[in-house]
């Protein structure tokens, strides 16, 4: 499932969890995602991955924030968990704009959308190790 969110400047999203693993890319603005042990500066060009159940809060920057989040179905998590998904929270550089391409593909919705989405999610999960910024 993919969801797009807009937050006003200076907003705070209190501590919460997501039941599924997810990828988030910021389209405009910035925010800081705070976890127990570390914080991540989130701005355009970076993708944040978090495992299911990671408790965190979000502090939205002075320009607000507009981002897209892809929540992974449990079946995807099961298929990829052993080899591809990080074990915690990490950031990656999205040099190939995978999340934006995924967002675009979901706006088309035709006969090949499911296959295209699967290919893009696999590409996102297979970002090279040097793309890892923290955690993992």
Number of domains in the chain: 1
Between 113-125 and 98-108, two packed helices, what is the crossing angle to 10 degrees? 170
HSE, side-chain direction, 13 A CA sphere, residue 19:
3
Inside any domain, residue 17:
yes
For residues 73 and 65, the model is more confident at: 65
- pTM of the complete model: 0.80
* Segment 96-136, tens digit of pLDDT: 888 888 888 888 888 998 888 888 888 877 765 444 455 44
* Segment 6-48, tens digit of pLDDT: 999 999 999 999 998 888 988 899 999 999 888 999 999 888 8
Inside any domain, residue 53:
yes
Both tokens of residue 59?
């502090």
For residues 51 and 62, the model is more confident at: 62
Q: In which domain, by residue range, is 84 found? A: 2-131
What's the CATH number where 51 sits? Answer: 2.60.120.10
Inside any domain, residue 49:
yes
The span from the CA of 113 to the CA of 124, in Å, is 16
Inside any domain, residue 136:
no
């Amino acid at each position: 499932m993919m969801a797009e969110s807009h937050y006003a400047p200076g907003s705070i999203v209190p501590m919460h969890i997501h039941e599924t693993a997810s990828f988030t890319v910021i389209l405009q603005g910035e925010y800081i995602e705070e976890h127990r042990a570390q914080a991540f500066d989130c701005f355009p060009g970076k993708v944040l991955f978090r495992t299911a159940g990671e408790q965190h809060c979000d502090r939205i920057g002075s320009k607000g924030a507009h981002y897209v989040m892809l929540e992974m179905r449990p079946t995807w998590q099961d298929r990829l968990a052993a080899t591809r998904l990080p074990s915690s929270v990490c950031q990656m550089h999205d040099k190939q704009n995978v999340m934006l391409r995924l967002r675009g593909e979901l706006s088309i919705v035709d006969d090949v959308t499911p296959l295209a989405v699967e290919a893009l999610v696999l590409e996102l999960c297979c970002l090279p190790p040097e793309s890892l910024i923290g955690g993992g």
